[in-house]
Structure 1
Amino acid sequence: MAETKNDESSVKSSSPTSHFEMKGDDISPDKDEGVLKEILKEGYDNEQPTSNDKVYVHYVGMLLDGTKFDSSRDRNEKFEFELGKGAVIKAWDIGVATMKRGEICRLICKPEYAYGKAGSDSKIPPDATLVFEIELFDFIGEDISEAKDQSIVRRILSKGESWTRPNDGANVEVLLKGTYEGRVFDERTVNFVIGEGFLKNIIPGVEHAITKMLKNERCKIKVKSKAAWDKSGEKSFNIPPHANVEYEILLKNFEKAKDSWQMNDTEKLDQGEILKKSGSSFFKDGHFRVALKKYSTIVDYLQSTNCESESDKERCRQLKLAAYSNIALCHLKLEQYIECIHACEKALELEAENEKCLFRRGTAYLALHEFDVALKDFQLVLSINSSNSAAKQQTEKCKDKIKLHAAKEKRLYAKIFEKLAKESEQEEPKQSEKTSNDDKSVEVENEHKTSNGTSEKQNDV
């Protein structure tokens, strides 16, 4: 049994069969001497890795008798893992979290913090106490961006509580501290609705990070310009275009928006009407991406409805039709033409002769230079409403584009044929000259045969 000093966190003992002294600070959570740490070389800064950080280390693993069973140094390849996610033995998650960059330490790990009664393969026996010498080279935060392009990198400074996180539409209260090149530009407590953060000058990167947080969690994020103010910058904070920023965030409180599975059909329909009104308001103000999200949520809510009454069924159909139609319009404004066409087709499944959706689909096809297909859509619009002046204009535009395209093709093919004809003319004299030379060769060969009485081919044989 290890001997405890006056300082209960420091332990030193030895065993006659052990190659190592059982010494070091007791860093196990329960102070049961399960993980002892001895620093062999001090690190060079005060920052330590936190949960979810990706860490880069070299290690040598040994049994108590000094037998080496694994070594990243022998492979000449650093080992990397995400801290606190159970990707390694418990002792590592505990021990590496206490290290600094450049630090080398020795961890002595009791079986319950290592491989336990099972051991591991033939190299680590059951109930084995293990020794690891670990060098920490670097650690980086967790990439929480949707594109996994390092545009939003998070480091958890203090863990939160419970297990729920804010969802889209949740009301949140956060304490923010934004810095740019060491200068604090934004420090405040703010309440806002997830999805509408821009109304309070909250950048997308911060809003996205908050949806990954627990109540009372504190984190630090590094945000690239694409998830901040991008090429526009922010004059009120004196942030230039294309600037990367950092934020420290404390999620003080939040109230989740109701999930669709928590609603009955009537509630989904009512919520759909609210979202439609909200989306239209944002659309009128030019916030097309926010409006798009509102309309898309309507579709999500109504996918799983099972309305019983005919009136509710029709109300549901009309809401979905309006949602898809408005989704198409948002995509059109954002110049996302393929997505616009897809949304129009969803709407046309609900109402085949919907004038607005046919027009919007035609407009998207026109933008994609699919003039023939676009023309058909505008002609369909006119067959439904012959007085639609916009469709008349677009029809004429398509016809002009088709004529122009045909003329271009005609000129292109004419050039191709002209080029081929010239190449053919240039080949004819060459062919004629080749034929003449071939005839002369035959005459010479015949003369050669006559003088020698045999051909060169026969002489070779």
Structure 2
Amino acid sequence: MADKDFDMPDVDEAEEEELGGESEFGAAAAGLQKEGEEREIGKAGLKKLLVRSGEGWETPDSGDEVQVHYTGTLLDGTKFDSSFDRGEPFTFKLGQGQVIKGWDEGISTMKKGERAIFTTPPELAYGDAGAPPSIPPKSTLKFDVELISWASVKDICKDGGIYKKIITPGEKWETPKDPDEVTVKFEARLEDGTVVSSTPEDGVEFCVKDGYFCPAISTAAKTMKKGEKVILNVKPQYGFGKQGREAQGNDSAVPPDTPLVIDMELISWKTVAEITDNKKVLKKILKEGEGYEKPNDGTVVKIKYEARLLDGTTFERKGSDEDPFEFVIDEEQVIPGLDKAVATMKMGERALVTVAPEYGFGEVATEKELGVVPANATLLYEVELLSFVKEKESWNMDTPEKLEFATKKKEEGNTLFKLGKFARASKKYEKAAKLVEYDSSFDEDQKKQSKVLKVTCNLNNAACKLKLKDYKEAIKLCSKVLELESQNVKALYRRAQAYIETADLDLAEFDIKKALEIDPQNREVRLEFKTLKQRQIEYNKKEAKLYGNMFARVNKLESVDTKKIEA
């Protein structure tokens, strides 16, 4: 049957909408059908007799370009068309109204290589009119269909602007993100075949978010897997729009409002990760690591690296394969940017780390072994993680080990607190408390030890949070202590401090009064009570002023209204 014979029949548009689209039966259920078995697809009377099972489990989606062989007959066996007879498969886009509804619905349930006979009622074929002279009105038809293959065609922007046809599937499942650097090869043509731009055989490298040539290239790259080859049909809004593009170098001109056809391959890409939320430390992976484990705080890592300025000047080299450089994560033994980046690496990974001055040597010029790092310098570290030994995880510890390790972390926290390093001290206290948080399996003596550790670490962590002005966390930590010791004066005192800073003055007063009931002579609590009273006076003054201004405005409005009435 010629392509034109498969144009949609004159069916009411609303009916067309209702009957078309993906069947309720679905591809997954179709996969359970046995050879020789006939089943109904959907609710409109379409029946499918499975003649030969297909390969795998995938079925084509709406928009995919499918290639089939078929024979069409009337119910009495009269043949009206056959691609088998012509020796040429028929190609069309599924779900786009290019064929009768029964085909769109039925073929969407088929696998590659599958053969099936579809009994198609008039509503899903040529309706009341038929297709004279071959197909009488109101004809039920049989189609013997073999699905040869299909190419995935996706509307990747969901607006018809870029259709992507996959020629060669890519590897794995990952796709590039905006910060990543991709290497692609492409040839861009006008619809008449005129080549307007092409890359060298080894492709071109660019950052996805920066784009290259035209917007369609970077947009498509974010949907592609490594090694994937595609054909892009690009509308002008994703090409060069109404302005077009003048000839540049070896590239030809693109006229205004001109669609493009682009053959494109994603050769490879380098993942660029934002290590810090403020994008001040970036990591570009040059060689993928092994496994999935990464260093955590306290891990002993062995690395080698070369450090450079942005102009390429090398100012430091550390470590080698035979004699690696060793340091402990989160112990301030290297600059913060390098510390944070290495903590995200896998064994054997090699990366280029870009470090802003805030995470490097800051505003001070620093002399290193191979040169001077100027003030406010952005740094580049090419670093390889050779090996690491993680601290023992809690689930691998027995109870005595947990208690011992928690005590060690608490003492490390105390040292850091005295040095004014409150953020790092907080992390030590938090780790110690977590180690003994669940103590139901401890014996009585161990439970007593764990309680002391939990109270001490949470109280000390609350003190850190107060210094860091994280008042909500300070309140939570003090509340945890009070669940264990309801008469703990320090917990009441520190929670009151946090309440004062968050303007919860009534709650602060409650905690301070309770603390003074327990320890009336506590000097720190009494001083905090004075602070609270001063805050309350200031608050009351503000309230009085606010309401005073409010009443003044109300009186003024009332006076104006009175004058209007008198007038």
CA contact (8 A) 1:366 1:374 kept: yes
- Map of 1:285 onto structure 2: 419
What residue is the counterpart of 2:545 in the other structure? Answer: 411
Which segment is superposed worse, 37-46 or 180-189? 37-46
Q: Call closer, same or farther: CA 1:89–1:430 in 2, change over 3 Å.
A: same
Change (3 A) 1:302 1:41: same
Change (3 A) 1:334 1:185: farther
Give the deviation of 1:90 after TM superposition.
5.2
How far apart, in 2, do the equivalents of 1:186 and 1:353 lie? 56
Instruction: Call closer, same or farther: CA 1:164–1:413 in 2, change over 3 Å.
Output: closer
Question: What residue in structure 2 maps to residue 187 of structure 1?
Answer: 317
Aligned-partner Cα distance in 2 for 1:278–1:291: 7
1:247 counterpart = 2:247: no
Specify the alignment match of 2:335 in structure 1.
203
- Structure 1 unaligned residues grouped into runs of 5+: 1-16, 18-27, 30-36, 60-71, 94-103, 105-131, 434-461
How far off its partner does 1:426 sit?
2.3
Distance in 1, matches of 2:467 and 2:202, equals 50
Match of 1:222 among 341, 346, 354: 354
TM-score, length basis structure 1:
0.64
The one-letter code matched in structure 2 to 1:195 is: D
- Which residue number in structure 2 is paired with residue 444 of structure 1? none
Aligned match for 1:78, one of 213, 219, 225? 219
Pairs within 5 Å for 1:355-394:
355-394=489-528
**Change beyond 3 A, Cα 1:365–1:171:** same
Q: Distance in 2 between matches of 1:349 and 1:184?
A: 56
Q: Is the 8 A contact 1:205 1:227 kept in 2?
A: yes
CA contact (8 A) 2:335 2:361 kept: yes
Q: Does the CA contact (< 8 Å) of 1:165 and 1:215 recur in 2?
A: yes
Q: Given the superposition, is the C-alpha separation of residues 45 and 413 from structure 1 closer, same or farther in structure 2, using an over 3 Å criterion? A: farther
Q: CA deviation at 1:287?
A: 1.3
**Cα deviations across residues 158-181 of structure 1 (Å, max 9, x unaligned)?**
333454322221111222323332
| Counterpart residue identity of residue 288, structure 2 | K
Amino acid at match of 2:279: Q
Q: Are 2:493 and 2:525, in contact at CA under 8 Å, matched by a contact in 1?
A: yes
Superposed CA deviations along residues 189-218 of structure 1, whole A, max 9, x for unmatched, are: 33221111x2x2x23332222122233321
**Runs of at least 5 residues in structure 2 that lack an aligned partner in the other structure:** 1-87, 89-169, 172-184, 188-196, 231-249, 251-261, 320-324
Q: Secondary structure at the match of 1:257?
A: coil
- Write the deviation string for residues 309-353 of structure 1: whole angstroms up to 9, x where unpaired: 100011111111111111111111111111111111111111111
For residues 12-41 of structure 1, give each alpha carbon's deviation from its aligned partner in whole angstroms, at most 9, with x where no partner exists. xxxxx9xxxxxxxxxx99xxxxxxx99994
Q: Tell me which moved more, 183-192 or 383-392.
A: 183-192
Aligned residues: 339
Deviation at 1:422, TM superposition (A): 2.3
Give, as a single letter, the amino acid of the residue that structure 1 aligns with 2:495. R
SS in structure 2 at match of 1:212: coil
Contact 1:218 1:248 in 2 (8 A): yes
Is 1:333 the counterpart of 2:467 in the alignment? yes
Q: Residues 89 and 210 of structure 1: is their aligned pair in 2 closer, same or farther, counting only changes over 3 Å?
A: closer
Q: Is the 8 A contact 1:57 1:79 kept in 2?
A: no
Structure-1 separation of matches of 2:208 and 2:556: 66
Instruction: Tell me by how many angstroms 1:136 deviates.
Output: 6.7
**How much has 1:275 moved relative to structure 2?**
0.6
Q: Tell me if the contact between 1:58 and 1:136 (Cα under 8 Å) persists in the aligned partners.
A: no
Cα drift, residue 47 of structure 1: 8.1
Displacement of 1:151: 3.5
How much has 1:187 moved relative to structure 2? 2.7
- How far is 1:239 from its partner? 4.5
The structure 1 residue matched to 2:281, chosen from 152, 158, 165, is 152
Q: Is the 8 A contact 1:143 1:151 kept in 2?
A: no
**Structure 1 counterpart of 2:526, which letter?**
K
Cα distance change, pair 234–328 in 1 and its aligned pair in 2 (3 A): farther
1:88 aligns with 225
Query: Please, what is the CA RMSD of the aligned residues?
Result: 3.8
How much has 1:233 moved relative to structure 2?
Answer: 5.4
CA distance in 2, matches of 1:92, 1:144: 28
Q: What is the distance in 2 between the residues matched to 1:234 and 1:264?
A: 48
8 A Cα contact 2:211 2:217, kept in partner: no
Corresponding position of 2:272: 142
- For 1:55 and 1:402, how far apart are their aligned partners in 2? 53
Determine if the alignment matches structure 1 residue 165 to structure 2 residue 306: no
Work out the CA distance in 1 between the residues paired with 2:210 and 2:552.
Answer: 65
CA apart distance, 1:89: 6.4
**Conserved 8 A contact 2:228-2:265:** no
The alignment's TM-score, normalised by the length of structure 2, stands at 0.53
Change (3 A) 1:162 1:89: closer
Report the CA distance shift for 1:430/1:303 in structure 2 as closer, same or farther (over 3 A).
same
> What amino acid maps onto 1:174 in structure 2?
I
CA 1:346–1:253: 2 relative to 1, 3 Å: same
Q: 1:257, 1:409 → 2: CA distance?
A: 54
